[in-house]
Structure 1
Amino acid sequence: MAESQSQSLTTLAHIRNHAIKSRQLYESQMDLDASRTSARLEATIKELQDQIEQQQAALENLRAKFNGTNSSASLAFASSDPRQRLKQLRTLKRAYTSLKPTATFLPEKDSVLPTLLTTRSLQQNVQGTKDAISATESQLSTTSSLLRTEEQNLHDANLITTTITSRIAKLQIDHEEQSEKSPTQLANDLIAAKRAQKATYDEKIRLLGDDLQLFITEILSPMLAAEALGGPVVGDMLDVQDETLAAGFTKKGRAKSTSKAPSERSRQLKIDQIWGNNAAVDDAHITEAEAADQEMRSLIESLFATLVGPGGGKAYFEVERETAAVRFLVRAGVAKLHPREARKVRLVDFGAELDD
């Protein structure tokens, strides 16, 4: 009992001495002299080396005590023999008893070991803080991007909700108005709506027809005439002049020289030969492009008449011969030839699927 109290008093004395030394070190001014710092570092290193040597000596002492039967390997596991187990316990007790009064290692007053340990701890904390800042910035960027996406989705959802709400309100108003009308009034409104719709469609058809006629006259007819005269197919030569059509093309499809223009009579004979005697109207001479224009217009009118006529859009129109206009419509996917008769052609009924 007295021995235990003595050890406690010794440990308490060491703690008080360490507290006094730490307070003195804290209150004293730090020495910034480089030579003094080097000397303190060397002293600290020597102190640590001495401590290591002491620990190694203590370790060798313990190993010497545990040689033979009382080796560390034999003490690792409890023996099944009661006497041997008691011996192991006594050996462990002696080891703990010898280690208990050992004074705690405390650095000297001038030692820089606390400063080094503090510096290492601060460096670890600073590096950890930097890593945490980098990770937080990356997470913040990802979160900001996700937030912008969600805000855009919310904006779209609000617009959809507003549109659907207004549409529902309009439908409700229309339903209330319809429920208050008589069958005659409903029929008249339906007829008026269909007539207005038909008028709108007729106007769109007229505008599309005008655009088609303009396209044929100004753009398509010269290229059709060039293909009919043996030149390149439609689309290979975009800018075809009347002089080029009048001069004609070689057997290889190249434009002939326009330095010597053919006579008007030979030119009209060639036009009649290619486009037929219908190329002249009221004995007035027309150009190759005008003849191709008339042929395309006549072909489209005949195909439209066949499409809306009897046969439900399945009837074919029989042409006198395969012309550049027929080939162009087929290549464009607007018309299709009969699978067994090459001179029969019809327009593709794009509205048949909608009717079905």
Structure 2
Amino acid sequence: MESIPNSRATSAHVARLDRTLKDLQRKVKEQEEALKKLRAAGKPIQEEPDSNKDIQLRQISLIKSAFEALTPVEPYTPLPDSPLPSLLALRTTHGTTSEAKSALIITKNDLSHVEQMLQKETADLEDGRLIESALQTRTSALKDSKEKHVQKPMAQVAKDMIRGLKNKKARYDMDTVTLVKSFNEFIDDHLAVMLAAEELGGPVVGELLVVDQTNLEAGFNAQGKARKTKGQLSEVGRQQRIDEIWKQQPERERRAQEPWNEATAAATEMRELTEQLLNNLVEADGGMNGGYVELDRESAAARFLVRSRVAQFHPKDARRLRLIDFGKDLVS
């Protein structure tokens, strides 16, 4: 039953649209006919004012008469039941909505850009405050130091400075001993077995965190996986392999009767390489072309230092290695 009223409403709406369309077509036709008559009867319209004052006055008078004749005429309005006003309102609303959506997208982009700028400016402001605080602290410390020095004789000031430098050196020496101890413990407890595994064809340092001593004895296959041990490897063959890859046990450690296996050989190589790199860097005094160590071979220790961004190869000679001088920019 509900479909019958809906069908009637649809038919009535279609009829109103049809009447409105015919009315608009009739109005357009009337305007076109009137325009044709004007073009046929009248002279071409002079868009610019004439230079002759009399003709210009007549032009103004004609324009005035035309406006006075058209003013009382009521403008065209659609029929009372015409859907044209609703359609025009719908078109205007749709256009306004589309413009509002476009403006909203632009506003969101502008807001995001402004928020990013605000975050950057906030971070810069915080950095500026930290720098200001550090400068104020430093300035205050320098003033206090200057006042103390002014109150003391020059000889006493020199003694205090020497004492301060000695204290700093002692503190740095203690820190160096602590760092060297931690470095050696890291090599012995973690790094040595992984370096040895990489030298024997195993995984790269860091890929396999737990390497068993039996894996080092058995070796690794071409895919980097540990071989299955079918029997205890002969000690003579094992020592020959260690001597070929690394080198023979140093005389000092041999006299101390310390064990010499794959892990200890890799640890010794790592310590010696880092010591040479440090010594050469100090001797080079921060020079860009100095501090290089000549490598007998490209060892796992050298590759590990390069991967760790601690050392770098010479750009034209991969047999030369040097430490990266992190402090040279600050010193210069």
Give me the TM-score of the superposition, normalised by structure 2: 0.55
The reply on whether 1:104 has 2:73 as its aligned counterpart is: yes
Aligned counterpart in structure 2 of residue 131 of structure 1, from 89, 92, 98:
98
The reply on whether 1:205 has 2:173 as its aligned counterpart is: no
**Retained in 1: the 8 A contact 2:16–2:83?**
no
What is the CA-CA distance between 1:261 and the residue it aligns to?
A: 1.6
Q: 1:255-291 CA deviation, whole Å, 9 max, x = no partner?
A: 7653322456776788789525736445x57241365
Q: 1:222-253 CA deviation, whole Å, 9 max, x = no partner?
A: 4565688xx32783795554334445689999
Q: Which residue of 2 aligns with 1:25?
A: none
**Which has more radius of gyration?**
1
The reply on whether 1:146 has 2:113 as its aligned counterpart is: yes
What is the CA-CA distance between 1:150 and the residue it aligns to?
A: 3.6
Q: Secondary structure at the match of 2:97?
A: helix
The reply on whether 1:167 has 2:137 as its aligned counterpart is: no
**Percent identity for Structure 1 against Structure 2:** 21
Q: Measured at CA, do residues 300 and 119 of structure 1 come closer, stay the same or move farther in structure 2, by a change above 3 Å?
A: closer
Q: Using the TM superposition, name which of 48-57 and 129-138 deviates more.
A: 48-57
What is the CA-CA distance between 1:141 and the residue it aligns to?
A: 1.7
Q: Secondary structure at the match of 1:181?
A: helix
The reply on whether 1:327 has 2:305 as its aligned counterpart is: no
What is the CA-CA distance between 1:298 and the residue it aligns to?
A: 7.3
> Separation in 1 of the partners of 2:20 and 2:327?
99
Q: Which amino acid aligns with 1:208?
A: L
**Retained in 1: the 8 A contact 2:218–2:233?**
yes
> Separation in 2 of the partners of 1:139 and 1:252?
56
> Separation in 1 of the partners of 2:221 and 2:270?
28
> Separation in 2 of the partners of 1:255 and 1:328?
17
Q: Measured at CA, do residues 121 and 257 of structure 1 come closer, stay the same or move farther in structure 2, by a change above 3 Å?
A: closer
Q: 1:50-105 CA deviation, whole Å, 9 max, x = no partner?
A: 76776677677767xx6xxxx65xx2279xxxxxxx9xx9xxx9xx89x9599836
The number of equivalent residue pairs is 289
The reply on whether 1:76 has 2:47 as its aligned counterpart is: no
Aligned counterpart in structure 2 of residue 176 of structure 1, from 140, 143, 146:
143
Q: Which amino acid aligns with 1:286?
A: P
**Retained in 2: the 8 A contact 1:226–1:233?**
yes
> Separation in 2 of the partners of 1:105 and 1:245?
106
Matches within 5 A, 1:1-356: 72=42, 75-76=43-44, 104=73, 111-112=79-80, 116=83, 118-182=85-149, 183=154, 186-188=157-159, 190-222=161-193, 231-232=200-201, 235=204, 240-246=211-217, 258-262=229-233, 275-276=248-249, 278=251, 280-281=254-255, 284=257, 286-289=259-262, 291-292=264-265, 295-296=268-269, 299-300=272-273, 303=276, 307=280, 322=296, 327-331=299-303, 332=305, 348=323, 350=325, 353=328
Q: Measured at CA, do residues 218 and 306 of structure 1 come closer, stay the same or move farther in structure 2, by a change above 3 Å?
A: same
Q: Which residue of 2 aligns with 1:14?
A: none
Q: Measured at CA, do residues 138 and 51 of structure 1 come closer, stay the same or move farther in structure 2, by a change above 3 Å?
A: closer
> Separation in 2 of the partners of 1:51 and 1:128?
26
Q: Measured at CA, do residues 281 and 256 of structure 1 come closer, stay the same or move farther in structure 2, by a change above 3 Å?
A: farther
Structure 2: segments with no counterpart, 5+ residues: 1-7, 47-54
What is the CA RMSD across the aligned residues, in angstroms?
Answer: 5.9
Q: Measured at CA, do residues 276 and 178 of structure 1 come closer, stay the same or move farther in structure 2, by a change above 3 Å?
A: closer
Q: 1:3-41 CA deviation, whole Å, 9 max, x = no partner?
A: xxxxxxxxxxxxxxxxxxxxxxxxxxxxxx979988888
Q: Secondary structure at the match of 1:180?
A: helix
Q: Secondary structure at the match of 2:299?
A: helix
Q: Using the TM superposition, name which of 266-275 and 202-211 deviates more.
A: 266-275
> Separation in 2 of the partners of 1:277 and 1:285?
10
Q: Secondary structure at the match of 1:146?
A: helix
What is the CA-CA distance between 1:136 and the residue it aligns to?
A: 3.6
Q: Measured at CA, do residues 185 and 158 of structure 1 come closer, stay the same or move farther in structure 2, by a change above 3 Å?
A: farther
Structure 1: segments with no counterpart, 5+ residues: 1-32, 79-85
**Retained in 2: the 8 A contact 1:178–1:186?**
no
What is the CA-CA distance between 1:121 and the residue it aligns to?
A: 4.4
> Separation in 1 of the partners of 2:255 and 2:261?
13
> Separation in 2 of the partners of 1:58 and 1:309?
102
> Separation in 2 of the partners of 1:299 and 1:49?
100
What is the CA-CA distance between 1:144 and the residue it aligns to?
A: 2.6
Q: Which residue of 1 aligns with 2:49?
A: none
